[in-house]
Amino acid sequence: MASKRQSLGDAKLAKADEFYTQLSDIEKELRHYKKHFKGKVVYLNCDDPRESEFFHYFSYNFEKLGLKKLIAACFKSQDMDLFSEVDSERAVYLEYTGDKDGDRIPGRDEIEVKCLKGDGDFRSQESIALLKEADIVVTNPPFSLFREYVAQLMAYDKKFLIIGNMNAVTYKEIWPYIQQNQIWLGVTRTGTGQMWFRIKDDAPDRTGQRVDEDGHRYQTIGNSAWFTNLDHSKRHEELTLYRTYDPAVYPSYDNYDGIEVAKAVDIPVDWDGVMGVPITFLGKYNPDQFEIVGIAKSPLGEPSKIYPKQTQVSATGVRSVVTKLNDGPALKVETPPVGKTYYEIDGEYYVQLYARILVRHKRVTV
């Protein structure tokens, strides 16, 4: 049993993670997966039914999608105005099995409200029991618990469509699933733009917030992305390539096997070796066209060399001794770049790049 301090900590963390996905973003993504939902039990296990647009989407499209059952639960609901007969201090979960009166609207008398003994945490035994019943999980889980959340889904072999920070692809707990094609990105918002989430009126002030004309508050969280193991047609679209390899344009890394490709659209069509591409490439990744061979990022990557301590020279000329050059792919340069950070080792100069996904072409042999 969790201690009172742990419970208070979990509650504080949950409140900081309360971000409500907009219906427009849900509709844009979910329209690519309709074939997966027929006859399935969908579980929204991080969704306050009073606030969740996920619940709205699936309940109003229940018959159209051909769902078998919809279940929604969340970490201890603080306000259950929609179901006023329920004690607001109790965690609840909802079950909906479709329209009963023919009006195609999920009414109160058609949604079964059940109380949980615990706090509704997705890690609780009660929530896990509901998870076992589900076929597909769809939600916006707490970003701070993303690693643990995904680990649970994989442990119980569940299909899912969830939202997370794009940088999660570089987590040591997530990357192996990406490389092994067990998890991939969805169709929209694949790390190339911001997604705005509605937040509660009493949410703490942070950078990246705005208020709409109705007074509703919104928060953006870096580059958000959809993560899934449900196949979609976008994943099999071939990336059109037209550039050819030129060593002057595509320098080789000094500490990894591969050439630098700054943009996915610039992948040389005639290069059969390893290429390093930005992590946003995963939004265009077609497993029929490319093979993921690794990642250039510490501690996940396998560099060909480890650098000794180096002198970092900042863009403003400040010098300091660091080991940052081992964090990811490095390029050796003839002269120090002007106005940019670089590194010096025994009179030789290097620049550090962000994490790169290492890929190669899949060639069809006859």
DSSP 113-142: EEE-SS---TTSHHHHHHHHH-SEEEE---
Average pLDDT, stretch 303-320?
96
**The pLDDT of residue 363 is above 90:** no
157: burial class by Cβ within 10 Å (0-12, 13-18, 19+)? exposed
Tell me how far apart the alpha carbons of residues 106 and 49 are, in angstroms, rounded to a whole number: 12
Tell me how far apart the alpha carbons of residues 221 and 63 are, in angstroms, rounded to a whole number: 33
- Please give the pLDDT value at position 185: 94
Digit-coded pLDDT (tens) for 43-89: 998 877 667 889 999 999 999 999 999 999 876 644 444 443 444 56
Tokens of 40: 């399935």
Percent of the chain with pLDDT strictly greater than 70: 84
**The pLDDT of residue 312 is above 50:** yes
- Please give the pLDDT value at position 11: 40
Q: Give the global pTM.
A: 0.85
Tell me how far apart the alpha carbons of residues 73 and 55 are, in angstroms, rounded to a whole number: 10
- Higher pLDDT, residue 125 or 5: 125
Tokens of 182: 């067990």
**The pLDDT of residue 6 is above 80:** no
Average pLDDT, stretch 279-297?
95
- Please give the pLDDT value at position 17: 52
Tokens of 126: 């009660």
| CA distance readout (Å), 206 to 167, 209, 221, 308 | 20, 7, 10, 39
Tokens of 15: 């409140």
> In this structure, are residues 287 and 239 in contact, taking their beta carbons and an 8 Å threshold?
no
Classify 94 as helix, strand or coil: strand
Cis before 204 (ω within 30): no
Partners of 349 in the β-ladder: 333, 344
Cβ count within 10 A of residue 73: 28
The closest alpha carbon to 188, from 166, 168, 173, belongs to 166
> In this structure, are residues 139 and 44 in contact, taking their beta carbons and an 8 Å threshold?
yes
- Higher pLDDT, residue 191 or 216: 216
Average pLDDT, stretch 99-103?
80
